[in-house]
Amino acid sequence: MPIVKTVQDGVAIVTLNRPEAMNSIDPESNEQLLAIWDQVSSDEEIRVVVLTGAGERAFCTGADLKKTMPPADSAARQVFRAGTRHSNFGTLQTDKPVIAAINGYALGGGLELALLADIRICSENAQFGLPEVRVGSIPGAGGTQRLIRAVGQSDAMWMLLTGDRIDANEALRIGLVSKVVPLSALQQTAINLARAMAANAPLAMTAAKRLAMTGRELPLAGGLELERQAFGVLRDSEDRLEGRRAFADKRAPVFRGR
pLDDT tens readout for residues 45-84: 999 999 999 999 999 998 876 655 555 566 666 566 655 4
The DSSP letter of residue 69 is P
pLDDT tens readout for residues 128-146: 999 999 989 999 899 999 9
- Domains of the chain, each with CATH number or no CATH: 3-198 (3.90.226.10), 202-249 (1.10.12)
Is 31 designated active site?
no
Which carries the bigger pLDDT value, residue 91 or residue 98? 98
The strands making up 48-53's β-sheet, listed across from edge to edge, are: 3-8, 11-16, 48-53, 98-102, 119-123, 179-181
CB neighbour list of residue 14: distance below 8 Å, 6 or more residues apart: 3, 4, 5, 33, 36, 40, 49, 50, 51, 52
Under 8 Å between Cβ of 49 and 40: yes
One-letter amino acid for residue 64 of the chain: D
Q: What is the CA radius of gyration of the chain?
A: 19
Under 8 Å between Cβ of 128 and 165: yes
What's the whole-number average pLDDT of the chain?
90
CA quadruple 83, 93, 15, 9: dihedral positive or negative?
A: negative
Specify the pLDDT at position 183: 96
Which carries the bigger pLDDT value, residue 246 or residue 105? 105
Specify the pLDDT at position 241: 86
pLDDT tens readout for residues 181-219: 999 999 999 999 999 999 999 999 999 999 999 998 999
| Active-site choice (20, 44, 112, 225) | 112
CA quadruple 117, 119, 124, 127: dihedral positive or negative?
A: positive
The DSSP letter of residue 253 is -
Distance CA 2, CA 26 (A): 9
**Residue 119 pLDDT > 60:** yes
Specify the pLDDT at position 63: 84
Specify the pLDDT at position 82: 54
Buried b (16+ CB within 10 A) or exposed e, 37-47: beebeeeeebb
| Active-site choice (132, 170, 217, 225) | 132
Instruction: Indicate the pTM of the whole model.
Output: 0.88
Which carries the bigger pLDDT value, residue 239 or residue 168? 168
Q: How confident is the model at residue 38 (pLDDT cuts 50, 70, 90)?
A: very high
Specify the pLDDT at position 91: 80
Is 44 designated active site?
no
Paired with 171 in beta bridges are none
Distance CA 139, CA 134 (A): 11
Under 8 Å between Cβ of 173 and 151: no
**Residue 87 pLDDT > 80:** no
